[in-house]
Structure 1
Amino acid sequence: MSKILIVDDEPNILLSLEFLFKKEGFKVFIARDGEEALGIIEESGPELVILDIMMPKVDGYEVCKHLKKKNRETKVIFLTAKSKQQDIQKGLEAGADLYLTKPFSTKDLVAKVKALMN
């Protein structure tokens, strides 16, 4: 069973994505900020992280950089409201495999996650 970590400070996004990916057969971990995410990454070693950028304590860019330094195999998808070209560039430079903006299609997100995992 593939492990996914969803990191977002918006409870409704966490809940809906957790439900969605559990339904798709993934083992799902959730974190409400970057600091909590780093702890779960150390303990659980998810294969994929869905990551917001604007979060308390540690932002998504820092989480991504830290993760990619330790394990290049783990896939990272930024899922964020930050849609300016410079934000997208910064996300890809931090090591993201994919950069998606909110609002998003859950169907599209599931398809992209499955494609990245294969």
Structure 2
Amino acid sequence: KETYDVYQAIIKTVGENDYEGLDKLVTQAYSNGLSSYMKTSIKTLKKHLPHIKNTFTFPYTNGRIEGMNNKIKVLNRVAYGYRNFNNYKNRIILHFNLKPRPNHKDRIQIKTSSMAA
């Protein structure tokens, strides 16, 4: 019962972005009624408390980048590899509807052709 109550209290404080409440929950002493898994979880939360405070304070997340990385890994796995890096890069650009940048050779050709004109 105590483990369940602590678990629910943690969920409530995180849902309400209540850092002070989470800090109190993590730093308070508990009796032997907690499961070993909950004790380990509280120990982990206590260790990462300053970083958790940042998530409550700032609205930034790296979820979008992680999602892109995951999609790139799936593309690579589905294709069973690419013949060369340019094909791989072009497939990623196509998948994400990004605007392709001219590669180094294209820029050199553009510069030399404009100098001749």
TM-score class normalised by the smaller sequence: under 0.3
Q: 1 or 2 for the larger relative contact order (CA 8 Å, sep ≥6)?
A: 1
Larger strand fraction of residues: 1
TM-score (norm 2): 0.25
Q: Greater CA radius of gyration, 1 or 2?
A: 2
TM-score (norm 1): 0.25
